[in-house]
Every structure is written in C-alpha cells, then in structure tokens.
C-alpha cells in the first residue's frame, strides 16, 4: 500500500530534509521511525526538500510498504520514535497514482520577519529579526514585479540543480501585524533558496537601500551573482501543498502567526 503523511517540524535541529551521510536530517529521522513501525525499511518521498533551519507545518511525504497498519498506528507509532522537533500530523492510504512531489499542483511558503529595534528571545530561530524599520509599501511594490511566469535565475542558489529556472509565482502578499511582517508566496514550484533570496531582496528594499524596481532589475539580469543577500532560514516555513482534489488529502495549511 502507499501511505501519505502530513508532517511538521522545527528545522533548527536538522541539516535540512534530505538524507545525508554523517548528519541529522528530517528524512532520516522519519525513515528510521517509520521503519520501526513497519518492521521493514521505509523510504520517503517529500513534496519539497527544505534547507537546514527551515521549518514546516504542511510538509507532505509518501512511502510504499507491505506492512498493514491502521492510519492511527502509523501516526502514533512514528511519533513515539521521533525526536520532539518532528511530528507526523496525519497518515492516510492513497492510490498508487499519488506522488508527493510530482502530483503537487502548487506550494506555499511563509517568511516571518520581526521588524523592531530589540532582538527576540522566545522567538529566536523562529523569525528573522531585522533591526531597521521596514517600508512595507515599497516591499509590496517590489514584490509585484515577481508575480507571473519568469526566469528566476537571479533568485536561485548557484548550486541549484533544477533543470529549468522558470517558475510561475501565483501570488506574493505582504501583511503587517504589530512588529511582524508576513511574506506569503504561492507558486507552482520553487528553486533552491528562491524564497530566501526573494526575502533578502525585499528586505533590502524595505530598508530603503534600493528602490522598488530593484527586484525587477535583478530578475532581468538572470544572474545570481548580481542578486541580493540570501535571507536567513530562521523565518521560513513550508506551509502548504496543493494536490488535485481526487486525492482527498487532509487540509494542512496552517501558516504560523505570532
């Protein structure tokens, strides 16, 4: 049978999602825990690989197994064997046509910025702190240049392995509540470091280091070496994956709000 999982995790304790030799990753911890429940090795496929320090509230993964367990047993059994920073929220049997990565229609991230002159204590590692007051109107104007289908070469990591740099951004929204600025990005897919590079450019514009058109100029360069600073991983959350309705997955969109 094929099992889909909804997963959340605090990324600070891990070297990202992807399994790597000699380091602690989310995928490796989950596979070890699920293998104990299944009593056979388990290999996971996720909707979107996250970097070291990046959090998730709506990560989706699937695995195939010959082991028969109830959906409740997969959840409780996995969580009993996982570190506290990872939690399986739900498990559901799906058709073999479902694929956590390739069946996805779109993905959503939220980047949380704390804009105030005093650094955080309780939210350390959960938000990105910016000492300066940010001009959110300028950031919104700059973000509008990035909506649509574009070549995002300037906004991806130099080591990005994606075959094409073209992505379609459906929506970028910035909202402010007290000292918090929420940057929400909805796209068909994302490149390596794409959200953090967009956040870095928008923060620079919010600091008035550049005008709102700078985001468009960087886009047109199609050259990462001429892009802006990569924002920290601290404030980044993988929020939601959209699939065709026939897969009937539980809703997992719970964007963090402080």
pLDDT at 185: 98
* Token pair belonging to 23: 């380091």
Per DSSP, what are the bridge partners of residue 237? 55, 110
Percentage helix, strand, coil for the chain under 3-state DSSP, each rounded to 5: 25, 30, 45
What CATH fold (topology level) applies to the domain 2-103? Alpha-Beta Plaits (3.30.70)
pLDDT at 161: 87
What CATH fold (topology level) applies to the domain 106-238? Alpha-Beta Plaits (3.30.70)
pLDDT at 254: 80
pLDDT at 81: 97
Intrachain domains 2-103 and 106-238 with the same fold: yes
pLDDT at 253: 62
Q: How many Cα atoms are found within 13 Å in the side-chain-facing hemisphere of 134? A: 32
Residue numbers annotated as active site: 51
Over the stretch 117-129, which tens digit does the pLDDT of each residue have?
Answer: 999 999 999 999 9
How many C-beta neighbours within 10 Å does residue 240 have? 22
pLDDT at 245: 92
Over the stretch 134-150, which tens digit does the pLDDT of each residue have?
Answer: 999 999 999 999 999 99
Residue 213 binned pLDDT confidence (cut-offs 50, 70, 90): very high
CB 31 within 8 A of CB 24: no
Distance (Å, rounded) from C-alpha 62 to C-alpha 114? 34
pTM of the model: 0.95
pLDDT at 66: 96
Mean pLDDT of 19-41: 96
Domain boundaries, the chain: 2-103, 106-238
Establish whether 109 is an annotated binding residue.
yes
pLDDT at 42: 96
């Amino acid at each position: 049978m094929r099992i889909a999982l909804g997963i959340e995790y605090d990324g600070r304790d891990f070297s990202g999602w992807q399994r790597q030799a000699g380091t602690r990753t989310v995928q490796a911890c989950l596979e070890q825990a699920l293998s104990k429940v299944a009593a056979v090795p388990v290999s996971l496929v996720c909707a979107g690989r996250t970097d070291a320090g990046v959090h998730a509230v709506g990560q989706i993964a699937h695995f195939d197994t010959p082991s028969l367990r109830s959906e409740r047993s997969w959840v409780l059994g996995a969580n009993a064997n996982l570190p506290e920073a990872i939690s399986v929220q739900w498990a559901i049997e799906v058709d073999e046509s479902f694929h956590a990565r390739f069946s996805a229609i779109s993905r959503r991230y939220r980047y949380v910025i704390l804009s105030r002159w005093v650094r955080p204590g309780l939210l350390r590692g959960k938000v990105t702190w910016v000492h300066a007051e940010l001009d959110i109107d300028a950031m919104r104007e700059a973000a509008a240049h990035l909506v649509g289908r574009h070549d995002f070469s300037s906004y991806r990591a130099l080591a990005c392995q994606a075959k094409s740099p073209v992505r379609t951004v459906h929506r970028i929204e910035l909202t402010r509540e007290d000292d918090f600025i929420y940057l929400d990005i909805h796209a068909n897919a994302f490149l390596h470091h794409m959200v953090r590079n967009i956040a870095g450019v928008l923060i620079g514009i919010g600091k008035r280091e550049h005008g709102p058109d700078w985001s468009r100029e960087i886009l047109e360069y199609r050259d990462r070496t001429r892009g802006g600073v990569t924002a920290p991983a601290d404030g980044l959350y993988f929020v939601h994956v959209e699939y065709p309705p026939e897969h009937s997955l539980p809703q997992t969109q719970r964007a963090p709000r402080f």
